[in-house]
A = this chain, B = another copy of it.
């Protein structure tokens, strides 16, 4: 069950409304990396989760994101309110102005409706947590960019609060992932094919007109990758079914 307390988690105060900035803020209200996406991703993962401790973390953070949704929505609405009556302001976001009467809705900065296609919910803890870490990283950089596009101090303060919490959640998801006790490349139960898993295919070669060249990264070899150069032209160098003669024999036999 949910309960709502009217007090906003962060008190939003702005100076002069800036409708074009308000429109930009919608990225974090109804956009791909925004607060509804975060709230729904974690809450739905939590609903599906069989591990009570992980479920609790997911519900804690999913619920906090709902509180953030209110903050960013309130902030965006303050900046967009002039679109209700000013023709010039309305041009900053015609959808908000004409269809919404100056009120926000779950659309992004270019009027695309929020969609559950933004969500990553796999039903597998070590996968979901990686999706969540990435989601928090994206949300963090978006808040940083928004802060860079406004001079309004009250707006900056609210965005700084929201940005900070993304790092908090990123840290929590990283710890929850560590706590699962799985190896860094251990996803699910089936092992990858030995040999093949360590081949790096160099599929992009040459040099472009702006100086970017084919650079085999030093770390690749240092970390045990075996390079296969231009496999489209040297297909036999790929160990498709692994290196062991036994496996190759098995494969030939199976067909």
Q: How many residues of A contact B (CB 8 A)?
A: 160
Q: Mark A33-70, 1 if CB is under 8 A from B, else 0.
A: 10010001000110110001101110111111011001
User: In the bound complex, how far is the Cα of B146 from the Cα of A145, in angstroms?
Assistant: 30
CB-based contact B167/A187 at 8 Å? yes
With A90-B24, A196-B168 as contacts: A70 and B109 at CB distance below 8 Å: no
User: In the bound complex, how far is the Cα of B161 from the Cα of A240, in angstroms?
Assistant: 7
Residues on the B chain within 8 Å of A10, using CB: 240
Residues on the B chain within 8 Å of A184, using CB: 174
CB-based contact B48/A94 at 8 Å? no
Q: Mark A125-165, 1 if CB is under 8 A from B, else 0.
A: 01100110110011011101111110001100100110111
A1 sits at the interface (CB 8 A): yes
CB-based contact B255/A153 at 8 Å? yes
With A2-B67, A9-B1 as contacts: A134 and B141 at CB distance below 8 Å: no
With A2-B2, A167-B185, A214-B6 as contacts: A104 and B48 at CB distance below 8 Å: yes
Residues on the B chain within 8 Å of A109, using CB: 94-95, 98-99, 111
CB-based contact B217/A179 at 8 Å? yes
User: In the bound complex, how far is the Cα of B105 from the Cα of A27, in angstroms?
Assistant: 15
